[in-house]
Structure 1
Amino acid sequence: MKTFKSLLVIFLSIHFGNAQNINPKEVKDVMKKVADWQMDHINDSYNNKKPHHPLHWTNAALYVGMSKWAEMADDDTYYNWLKGIGNQNNWQLHERKYHADDHAVGRMYAALYRKYEQEEMLEPTKEQFSFLMHHPAKTKLDWATPYHQDRWNWCDALFMSPPVWADLYSITGEQKYLDFMFEEYKATTEYLFDKKENLYYRDERFKDKFDKGTKIFWGRGNGWVYAGLADILSNLKPQTKEYEYFLDIYKKMSEKLIEIQTPKGHWAMSLLGQEFYPTPETSGSSFFIYGLTWGINNEILKGRNYKKAVVNGWNAMASYVDENGMLGYVQPIGAAPGNASADKTEVYGTGAFLSAGSEIYKMVNDN
């Protein structure tokens, strides 16, 4: 009898994974706590720098997660907060016409348009992207080229701009948005994707560099790529050439990510060098959890290993939220592996955490 009970426990563990270790109510509670803390501290200066402009990419990443939380929340407080930011800025993108960072706030505009269907929310973005399609940047992707960031020649750019193009394609049904994005995304991937490791270099400068004998793949940069892939795929029609292209990258990265996840549940700041970077980093790790859980929820990623990875990851991320709702261990603005600590946060870390929570909640609430 004892043997039968033991076998039953093993079977249930394998069949259902570890999702039962996460309580749906607790997921919503910690998400609300983090969202409310961040709204109260939106004008703080992080890491001894001035408060971010409302349309800055840092805040844009926050709005991505906040939009997902607003959809889950039990009142319109969060939607109203996001709408207020859009109205105050006349639904404009940020300052630089070509720079991907300054397109990222378009993610929020698209999310709000889907809820309210108010044309003014998307018109400035559509107008600017029309200009870009008619006057595309011709610069090379080399880092030393003048105006090199007029194209997506750093990996985190693939989170900032391409999903906005995918949103416009999905919302309008106009193929031109997808065509432009698809060609530019392929150019970046051919330039920065390591086909052996199935990870992206942050930019050209890291291709031939090594850190203590390991290739340098920045955790947060790859986290942003991976989350962006999930959002792009959400906007595409299955079985199309574009969907299959992005799905192939997504699956390759997914396999790599569960292979290199640390025993504590996070991912190292230098993804292949966890022994040299033991400190957690919650912004990149949260986006990995978001992307992996999205794949589970959409029945793309199957098997116990994926569910185990996201459960361990989410439990780790939630443990880094302090009693007030501040998410710690967020690496400051940078472009390479660095430092993080329990008392350091940033708005984009909150956005990543809320994105992860939105998919975790769907996973555990459906069980």
Structure 2
Amino acid sequence: MRVLAAWVSRFGLIGLIVLPLAYAWNPGLVLVALFQARSWMAAPAGLDPADCTGDWSVPIDAATPYLAPFFPETRASYRVLTLPAKDGDRPLAFRIDGVAAPARYWSLHAYDAASGVVVAALADIDIGAAEGAKFSVYARPAGPGGVGPTLAFPPDIERIALVWRIYAGQGSPPRVTALDAATGAPAPCRPVFALPASVRDPTQAAARDAVFAAMLAEQRARIAAGEAAPIRFRARRAENTPLFANRHVVYAFAPLDPALGESAEITFRPPPLKPGADGRGVRYWSVCLGGVRETSTSACITDSDVAIDPDGLARFVVGPGNGAPQSGVNRLGWGWFSGPRVLIVRQLDTATPFGGGFASSFAAVPEGVAAAEGLIGDFAPTGRYRP
């Protein structure tokens, strides 16, 4: 109710009337707007004009993943801060001061807030601060003069979105101070509302829907042909994902349609975790279910919780209800979504790739999108529907 009250205070009663109609038309856009309304409510008053810290968003985490856009991972915690890149004609920079979180992984990303595409990213290992140690990072326009860890963004960007991520850990978002990019003097911090094109542009939405529609058509054709595994996945990187994706993750994804079966069974060989016997592997992997139209998440199962069957395979059943793993089978419910679902398999940080891993295969795929099974063999998920 407090979120609705904030929405009405911002947009008036007409906003309340329009809200259900807008949700039916574009649920992803509505979730972005409501998420920002929740963050406005939580922002404190009376801070130093150059201090942006109080304007970090409310956390995106396992508490309410269904209320957050852009397919959040439920064992992670995210904070978002959208800022103008200029104060009038004066370019701005931002000093980010924090404490290294006790976590499996943490990072800072900078995005073009208008497009949702990543422009710079630093993982914990790039920043180099030991757990509990202080660190400083600068987000600034690309060019000479950067010192230390830097998120360099294109000078022509109008708004940047900073995202603080923690996977399998906890910590507070860092302090952010606005600066004059040329002099380093404090500058006014003016957080802004932004609806990225990935949720407001009908052309982009149509293109994204076309990809999922084509994949579902392929599933139907394979079912008609009697193939044993008609559900095939594609893989992509953050640079090709206008939904505030993590640059250190490679994603395998496939749409699932409850109309094609009461449940879907997905199987793959899980990737090795770092540090493996040869020092290779991923730092984290997970399987999450989201809604194609909503771009939110209903549930995830992460590497430490996944049951592995006697053959060393990870088996998932997506269908009515949820339940604890049984006999090596992991369960995810269909969720509350209004249309096709999307199953997303994340592999985090494959900078030192293992044989057959996503990162080692992507060098041969410049555009960053390809059929997953053609790249990574048994590590690629496949599946089938059950009546």
**TM-score, structure 1 normalization:** 0.29
Q: Choose between structure 1 and 2: higher helix proportion.
A: 1
Rg comparison, structure with higher value: 2
**TM-score, structure 2 normalization:** 0.28
Q: Choose between structure 1 and 2: higher strand proportion.
A: 2
